[in-house]
Amino acid sequence: MQHLNKIYQIGGATVTRVDEIPLPDVAPSVLYPDLDPGAFKQYARFLGDGSYDRNTGTLTESIHTWLVQFSDYTMLVDTGVGNGKTLPATPQFGHLDLPYLDRLLAAGVRPEAVDFVLLTHVHMDHVGWNTRFENGRWLPTFPNAKYIFSRTEQQYSASLSGHTPAPDLPPPRLGKPIRQPAPNVYDQSVAPIIEAGLAELIDVDGAEVLDGISFLPTPGHSVDHASIRLRSGGQEALFLGDVMHHPLQVYRANLRSVYCEFPEAARASRERILSDASQNQALCFTSHFAETSAGYVRRENDGFQWQFV
Ligand SMILES: [Zn+2]
C-alpha cells in the first residue's frame, strides 16, 4: 500500500519522505535511560497523539529517508535499514523484506536516477539501502550516485570492523564512548560502496559539498555525526539525522538517547543545532520523529518547543 507523503518546497528543492519502518510502542525508559518519570509527565503534555500513545504510555517513532529533488538532480538523505541485512545486535531489523524501493518508485524515482546519497552518519538504520544483495553479494543500490559522507565515520567504522586501524579515533575531546556502532554494518552497507568507487569522503566542517548543501558537525550520537543544511532560494532546511530521536528531546535537550555513543558531546551538539534551527527558522527534517517527521524548532523561555508541519 502506498501512502502519499507531504511534499515540502525549499526554494528550488522539493523534499518528500520515503517510508521504511513505523516504530510504535517504544517504552520511554528504554529510549531514554536517564528519563525520570516526573519529568516525562511534565513534558508529555506537549506531545501529540501521533508521537505519544496515552493509552499505552509508549512513544512512537519512525525509520524513513528523505528524497530531495532539484530540477537537475535527485538526492537521498540517509538510506534506512535495508533488506536482508544480518544484524545480530538488533535482530528485529535483520533480514527485512520491505517494499522501500517500490515506495521510492511511487515517488517517481528509479534507483538509477539518484545522483547523490548524503549520509548523516554510519549507523545501521541510516546506511542500509546503500546496498542490496544480488547474485550472492552486496552491490550499490544506486549505481549512478555519489555517496557523500564523513571520512572520519568511514575510518572509525572500518577500524571497528577489523579493516585499517584508526589509532587516533575516536578523538579524545568527545569523551569515552559508551557504545559502538553495530557489527556487520560497515561490511554490508559501506565497504561495497567504497569498492565500487562511489564514495566521496568528506571533512564535516560546514563547507558546501554541493551547491547550497553543507554538512554541519554535530558529533556525539556517533563519532562524526553530521546534520545537513540545505539552502535554496533564500530558504533553509536542516536534515537533523540522529541529533534527536523524538520531539521529547526538543523540550528536554539534555536527554541522551540509548543509541548515543558519546553522550556529553551529543548533548552539546543537540543544544547547538536546536539554537541554530530556531534562529534561522529552518524547516527541520528528522530521522525518527513520527507524524510528518518535519517541523520547526522555536525558542521558548529557557528552552525550545517543536511544531510539526
Ligand atoms: Zn537512527
CATH of the domain at 219: 3.60.15.10
Does the residue 180 lie in any domain? yes
Q: Please provide the DSSP assignment of 39-94 as one string.
A: HHHHHHTTS-TTTEETTTTEEEEEEEEEEEE-SS-EEEE---S-SS---TTSGGGT
Does the residue 279 lie in any domain? yes
How far apart are the CA of 137 and the centre of ligand 1, in A?
Answer: 25
Tens of pLDDT, residue by residue over 246-260, are 999 999 999 999 999
C-alpha cell at 26: 517504544
How far apart are the CA of 290 and the centre of ligand 1, in A?
Answer: 13
pLDDT at site 1: 43
Does the residue 2 lie in any domain? no
Does the residue 120 lie in any domain? yes
How far apart are the CA of 41 and the centre of ligand 1, in A?
Answer: 25
C-alpha cell at 278: 530556531
Taken in order 120, 123, 126, 127, the sign of the CA dihedral is positive
Domain count, the chain: 1
pTM of the predicted model over 0.75:
yes
> Residue 80 belongs to what domain range?
7-308
C-alpha cell at 3: 501512502
Q: What CA–CA distance (Å, rounded) separates 267 from 243?
A: 8
Does the residue 270 lie in any domain? yes
How far apart are the CA of 135 and the centre of ligand 1, in A?
Answer: 29
Does the residue 1 lie in any domain? no
How far apart are the CA of 9 and the centre of ligand 1, in A?
Answer: 24
Does the residue 68 lie in any domain? yes
How far apart are the CA of 282 and the centre of ligand 1, in A?
Answer: 21
C-alpha cell at 85: 541485512
Does the residue 286 lie in any domain? yes
How far apart are the CA of 302 and the centre of ligand 1, in A?
Answer: 27
How far apart are the CA of 123 and the centre of ligand 1, in A?
Answer: 7
C-alpha cell at 130: 546503500
Cα-trace Rg, the chain: 18
Tens of pLDDT, residue by residue over 165-211, are 999 999 999 999 999 999 899 999 999 999 999 999 999 999 999 99
Residues of the chain whose pLDDT is less than 50?
1-2
pLDDT at site 38: 87
- Which one-letter DSSP state was computed for residue 289? B
Q: Which amino acid is at 119?
A: L
How far apart are the CA of 143 and the centre of ligand 1, in A?
Answer: 24
How far apart are the CA of 243 and the centre of ligand 1, in A?
Answer: 9
Phi, psi of 257 (to 5 degrees): -85, 160
90, 87, 261, 81: which is closest to 180 by C-alpha?
261
pLDDT at site 3: 54
